[in-house]
Chains A and B, each alone.
Chain A
Amino acid sequence: MQTATAHAQALRALARISLTFAVAGCIEEPAANDAPDDLADAAVDAAEFDALLDATLPPITPDAAIFVDALVDPDAPDGEPAEFDGGDDAAIADAGAPDAMVDCGPWRDEPEFWECCAAHPMTQSCNPWGPPMPPALVLA
Chain B
Amino acid sequence: MTRAVLDLRAAARPLAPALPIEPADRAAAIATWRGRMVNEHGSARVFTALAVQLSDARADDEWIVAARRMAQEERRHGVLCGAVVEALGGAARAPALREEPMPAHADVDRFEAVTRNILSICCLSESVAVALIGAERLQMPEGALRDVLTEIWSDEIGHARFGWRWLAAHRERLRADRLGTYLRVAFAHLEAHELAHLPLGGAGDPALGVCTGADGRALFYGAVEQVIIPRLEGLGLPAADAWMNRGAA
Residues in chain A within 8 A of chain B (CB atoms): 1, 3, 5-7, 9-11, 13-15, 17-24, 28, 30-31, 33-36, 38-39, 42, 56-58, 60-61, 70, 73, 76-79, 81-82, 84-89, 91-101, 106-107, 109-110, 112-113, 116-117, 122-140
Contact = CB atoms under 8 A, between A and B. Distances in A.
12 contacts: A10-B131, A11-B227, A14-B127, A14-B134, A38-B158, A124-B196, A126-B199, A126-B213, A128-B132, A128-B194, A132-B125, A133-B102
A128 B158 contact: no
Interface of B: 1-8, 10-12, 27-28, 30-36, 38-46, 49, 62, 66, 69-70, 72-79, 81-82, 90-91, 93-97, 100-103, 105, 107, 116-117, 119-123, 125-136, 138-139, 150-152, 154-162, 164-165, 167-169, 171, 181-182, 185-186, 188-189, 193-194, 196-199, 202, 204, 210-213, 215-216, 218-220, 222-223, 226-228, 230-231, 234-235, 248-249
A91 B6 contact: yes
A92 B1 CA distance: 16
A128 B193 contact: yes
Contact of A34 (B66, B128, B130, B196): B66
Chain B interface, DSSP helix/strand/loop, else mixed: helix
Given A3-B139, A137-B181, A99 B35 contact: no
B134 A128 contact: no
B157 A6 contact: no
